Amino acid sequence: MTIKIGDKLPTTTFTRMSDAGPEQVTTDDYFADKTVALFSVPGAFTPTCSVKHLPGFVEQLDALKAKGVDEVACTSVSDAFVLDAWAKASDAKDKVTMLADGNGEFARAVGLEFDGSKFGMGTRGQRFSMLVEDGMVTQLNVEEPGGYEVSSADYLLKQL
């Protein structure tokens, strides 16, 4: 079942890179007591993700924060090392928190996974954005397959 507005995020674990290396963080801990603009990409270093999606959130970071967003985070079914390298290569390091969903646990738990096997990608997370307030989904924007519009930073910003 796909998550919807008004639902609490399910308890899962992400991996994020810290100065000491990869560290585990649960959804319960990460999303507690703050407002997070979370977006999901099918893959780091892929064309739309690298040219539009991540850069859009970096560009709109200040505007999102001015509207009450405490943090911007990106998730992908990938490992923390790849997401950290992508953040550095994209000038997103220390701007966007990278939450690696290495085994697709989060994508599956929120019902937003897809089978990218025909592209050699295996199971991935769909492209989406959501606003999460203290662990509760208050906005949810899921793209149609191959699309990039409603998950953009600009679209989410208009909803705030």
The pair of structure tokens assigned to 66 is 């001015």
74 is catalytic: no
Catalytic residue, chosen from 17, 36, 38, 49, is 49
Q: What is the 3-state secondary structure (H, E, C) of the chain?
A: CCCCCCCECCCCEEEEEECCEEEEEEHHHHCCCCEEEEEECCCCCCHHHHHHHHHHHHHCHHHHHHCCCCEEEEEECCCHHHHHHHHHHCCCCCCCEEEECCCCHHHHHCCCEEECHHHCCCEEECCEEEEEECCEEEEEEECCCCCCCCCCHHHHHHHC
Residues that are catalytic:
49
